[in-house]
Structures are given as C-alpha cells and as structure tokens.
Amino acid sequence: MLAKITPSKAIHWLGRQLLNREDPGAFFDPLTTAINPMWAQQYTPARVERITEETADTKTFVLKPAHRWGGFKAGQHLNVGIDINGVRRTRTFSLSSSPALWRNQGLITLTIKRLPGGLVTNWLHDELKTGDVIGLSEAFGDFLIPEEKRSVLFIAGGSGITPILSHLETMALEDYPGAVTLLYYVRTQSDVIGEERLIALRNRYPSFALNIITTHEGSEPRYLTGQDLDLIPGLADREIFLCGPKGLMELATDQLSQRGVSNDRQHSTFFAPPAPAQLASTDIGGEVTFSKSNLSVDSKGDANLLEIAEAAGLTPRHGCRMGICHQCTCTKTSGTVVNRLTGKTSGSGAESVQLCISVPQGPVALEA
C-alpha cells in the first residue's frame, strides 16, 4: 500500500531539498529552463545575438546576458558553461568588448579561437547558433587598466588580443590621457583578429599607436626583438600588458627585464595553461578523502585533485582548469599538496587550495 503524501509532508520535503542546496533557486531549473532557458538560476543565461567570423579559425559571439549579470571591467574573463553530449563543460574566456556595450545595450562579446582538438572551442564554432542560450559566470580577473593613467604598452600575440581590445576601446571612450602603444604579433595578415576595430581605434584615438607585425610572411620567421622595444618612447616608465603564446610572453619578459622595466610594471594573463613545474614522481600521489562525499580514492602519478575527483565520479565546481579563475577552490583539512604550476609545497594543516593545480603528496583530506 502506498503511503499517503499530504500537502504538509510535501512542503516539508521541498523545504529540506532547498535548504540542503547552496543554490536553492536552481532546484527548479530542469522545469523552468524547459519553458524558457533564460530563466536558469544555477548560472547566468546568455542568448547568442549574432556571430561574426574574424579569421578562418576565430569567431566573435555577441551575447545578451540576463539582466541580473553583474557586468565587468575591461580585461576581465568569465566562465562559459555548455552541455556537450549530456556533460556540463566549463571553460574560461576573456571579454573582448568594452563594458560600455554592456551598460548601454546589455550586450557583451567573446572572441574565441578554435583550438585543434579542443572539445569546447570546436563545439562553440561548429554547433552554437544565433538564438541559442549558454551559461555564464560573473566576471573576474585583475588584468585591468592602470588607475594611475600612466602610458601603456600592450604586447599581444594571436588571440591574446581579445582582452586588449576591451582595454583599448574603453581607454578611447574615456579619453585615457597617457600614450598607448600596441605591438600585435600574428602569423600572417589574414590572422589579424579585430582588424576593423583596431583600425577604427587608430583613426579616432590620437594617443594610440598601432603596430601589427606578421611573423611568417617573410623568408624567415620574424619574432619580437629588442629593437621593437627600443622604438617605444619612455619604455621604462610604461605599464606593460602581455597576452599571447607562452613563447612570446617569455621573450617579451626577458627583453623588458634587460631594458630595466621592473616586474611590478609588467602584467600578464594566460589564454592557455602556463607550463607546469616538473614534479618528482616519487614525491606525489596518495589517498585523497572527500569528506562531504564520504569517499576515498587512491591516486598515483601527477593527477591533480580535480582530475582525481572527476575520475571518482564527483563533479566539483571548476572553471578554467589552469589556476586562473579560482572557481575550484576548496578547503584542504589535512595533508600536503604540491602546486602544479610553481612546484611549491603547501602546509599540512587546513587551508584553501585550487583543485585544478594541486597534486596530493601523501594522504589528503578535502572538505568536498
């Protein structure tokens, strides 16, 4: 005989379900999003308004987030969440538009390059259509326009131009008083991202000097040289912003240091994972205990805590998977982990760690 469910029992059950969630509003998402995907509460939904091809492998997606989205500052990133074959995938991308576009029209842009073999970027390029809805996080990051209004040098390579486009358009709108120079390195002229926007900025913004350098149109590759930097007036007093491939950023950092530009004047952001530190295989691995899930997993090798959790069937919150967004931060209650990027070892007590760049070094307990 089936037990009778009274209205009071049903309300009590629903109340417990809501109280046990960190995001009670999202409990109804499966129902509400079936009616209107813009009603989602677990993330900020954003509708694709239009898609523009920038180059053969790069597209700009113009999005209209729900009104509750909190906006952003020029140079920041956000996490994009999409479902691929029933699995929620999250990746981090820089905003390529000025915050003024959001304030005035409720729109933002993401300019995304297709990565060979990339699951999410290939899906966005091949499957995402006008009218579709994707999920967004709030914006984050400190790759920001200097408050001191000093002269600025931007050094960008390839799709590293995306956050710098946001910077430049914002600086032009605000009549930024310092001199602004861009050194933009691309393989060929057909690989220039945002070319029309850059030319328009050069034409209307007198303080902006645009330099596009093609690296693979001559008989030999032509990369950043010290001479490129020696032509920049007042280099040592400028704020330097770097965004591009690892090789370009390392070359630029070395050349800038040789010319006396202090490290605190150099700002960088990654659009690909930085090179991991080399870890001794004998020092890493161990049993990882996920306290809230009442689960323990034995790990070997240099798998990070996020990979270990996912292999065990858990779905911890995460974003960029490269140590930038801090979305996967959780509390380690005991044990030692090694930072995959720096090679530094944590303490053995309770502290916050990033799952995506932390490798266990012996037994580790997490509040997850």
Instruction: Indicate the residue among 215, 246, 268 that finishes a domain.
Output: 268
Question: 164 with 248, same domain?
Answer: yes
Q: Identify whether 180 is part of a domain.
A: yes
Question: 241 with 209, same domain?
Answer: yes
Instruction: Note the pLDDT tens digit of each residue in 194-250.
Output: 999 999 999 999 999 999 999 999 999 999 999 999 999 999 999 999 999 989 999
Q: Which of 236, 235, 165 is nearest to 202 (CA)?
A: 165
Instruction: Note the pLDDT tens digit of each residue in 100-146.
Output: 999 999 999 999 999 988 899 999 999 999 999 999 999 988 999 99
pLDDT of residue 168: 98
Residue 27 has pLDDT above 50, yes or no: no
Q: What is the mean pLDDT of residues 16-36?
A: 51
Query: Residue 28 belongs to a domain with what CATH number?
Result: 2.40.30.10
Q: Which of 267, 264, 273, 274 is nearest to 252 (CA)?
A: 267
pLDDT of residue 237: 92
Query: Residue 318 belongs to a domain with what CATH number?
Result: 3.10.20.30
Q: Identify whether 185 is part of a domain.
A: yes
Contact 258, 266 (CB under 8 A): no
Exposed (0-12), middle (13-18) or buried (19+): which is 224, by Cβ within 10 Å?
A: buried
Question: 293 with 341, same domain?
Answer: yes
Q: Identify whether 275 is part of a domain.
A: no
Question: 124 with 160, same domain?
Answer: no
Instruction: State how far the alpha carbon of 139 is from the alpha carbons of 100, 142, 143, 299, 327, in Å.
Output: 15, 10, 12, 33, 11
Distance CA 365, CA 296 (A): 9
Question: 243 with 158, same domain?
Answer: yes
Q: Identify whether 2 is part of a domain.
A: no
Pairing of strands 208-214, 180-186: parallel
Instruction: Indicate the residue among 240, 268, 296 that finishes a domain.
Output: 268
Q: Identify whether 5 is part of a domain.
A: no
Question: 188 with 292, same domain?
Answer: no
**Tokens matching residue 364:** 């580790």
**Tokens matching residue 18:** 């809501």
Exposed (0-12), middle (13-18) or buried (19+): which is 53, by Cβ within 10 Å?
A: exposed
User: Residue 186 — very low, low, confident or very high, per pLDDT cuts 50/70/90?
Assistant: very high
* Residue range(s) defining the domain that contains residue 119: 22-136
Instruction: Note the pLDDT tens digit of each residue in 134-183.
Output: 999 999 889 999 999 999 999 999 999 999 999 999 999 999 999 999 99
Instruction: Indicate the residue among 268, 295, 324 that finishes a domain.
Output: 268
Question: 115 with 30, same domain?
Answer: yes
Question: 263 with 156, same domain?
Answer: yes
Q: Identify whether 9 is part of a domain.
A: no
Q: Identify whether 112 is part of a domain.
A: yes
Question: 165 with 262, same domain?
Answer: yes
Question: 291 with 239, same domain?
Answer: no
Vertex 312: Cα angle to 308 and 316 (nearest 5): 70
Q: What is the mean pLDDT of residues 335-351?
A: 88
Question: 254 with 294, same domain?
Answer: no
Q: Give how many domains the chain has, as a whole number.
A: 3
Q: Identify whether 143 is part of a domain.
A: no
Residue 37 has pLDDT above 70, yes or no: no
Contact 80, 50 (CB under 8 A): no
Query: Residue 198 belongs to a domain with what CATH number?
Result: 3.40.50.80
**Tokens matching residue 253:** 């950092």
Question: 80 with 173, same domain?
Answer: no
Residues 6+ apart with CB under 8 A from 363: 286, 287, 288, 289, 334, 335
Bridge partners for 358 per DSSP:
339
